[in-house]
Amino acid sequence: MKKVLLFLLPLLAATMLTACGNSDEPVNKQIVSMVTNNRAIEGDAVQFSQGNAKVELNYTDMIIQFTGDYKDASGTARSLTTPAMKMTNNGGTVYRFDNATSSTYTGIGILTGYIDLSTGMMWCSFDEGSSHVVMTTQLLYAYSSTQITNPDNGNTGNHNKSAYLFALDSRGETCIMKITNFITNLNGSGTADVYEIQYDGLTVTPTTTGYIITSDKAESSLSGFYTISDLNFKLDDQCRVIDGSFKCSGLEFKVTGDLFPIAN
């Protein structure tokens, strides 16, 4: 997963709290703190909230449990404490978990989730009262495909080297988009034009199925270079798929893919 390493280094540095085990022994338990973006859905209404989750991973027994905070559809603050849940491999470094076999439901319905141990991306959903809650870490689409088109002649090229991170603000109104391995040529071969590039202040609209990210024009972190326009991303299927487009350097970019490579 080389294309997301630049994301992971600062992410791990910021979230690592403790690692159990002596320095000369393999670390088999880890506790991390993660920012979560939460949507409580009731009919056509969506309540966004941003919270924090404390996640404990036991790699020996492949167990996950976590606490988190969110708001329900009425805007009331809630807290979540899961039981210890078994992680089962869902393909590659992605693991599935749920509380269906636990007698400890802590006031919620069946919780189902996925975590990618390579990227740190976590997603879960559950019912709480009349609300359906979807909780995710900052959204990292590491398994995406990018199609680049030259509108002047219609030539196109595809590659799967870029990863897209959307880091939402605390209100769910704007976000930062980071792209690793940003490529602006049709064949997608060779070294990326920019290993990591960032765009601030993109508009976020929470929906019942995910988020819509838009921007008429956004300057990059490399001032004066790689300005983008006509950006429109739909993070759909409760954020588990990405479908979006933007323009840059006279080319048109189309991005599609999944949050997790094999999740069902």
* CATH assignment of the domain containing 119: 2.40.128
Residues 172, 241, single domain; the answer is: yes
Assigned domain for 263 exists? no
pTM for this structure?
0.89
Domain count within the chain: 2
Q: What is the pLDDT along the chain (264 residues), one digit of tens a residue?
A: 444 444 443 443 333 333 444 445 555 899 999 999 999 999 999 999 999 999 999 999 999 999 999 999 999 999 999 999 999 999 999 999 998 866 555 567 889 999 999 999 999 999 988 889 999 999 999 999 999 999 999 999 999 999 999 999 999 999 999 999 999 988 766 678 899 999 999 999 999 999 999 999 999 999 889 999 999 999 999 999 999 999 999 999 999 999 998 655
**Contact yes or no for 243/236 (Cβ under 8 A):** yes
Residue 119 has, within 13 A of its CA and on its CB side, a CA count of 27
Does 264 fall in a domain? Answer: no
Cα(116)–Cα(95) distance, integer angstroms = 6
C-alpha 170: how far from chain center: 15
Domain boundary among 97, 115, 137: 137
Kind and range of the H or E run holding 47: strand 45-58
What is the residue type of 221? S
Chain centre distance of CA 14: 16
Q: Give the range of the structural domain holding residue 169, as residue numbers without chain letter.
A: 139-258
Which residue, 5, 59, 37, is CA-closest to 169?
37
Do 164 and 129 lie in a common domain? Answer: no
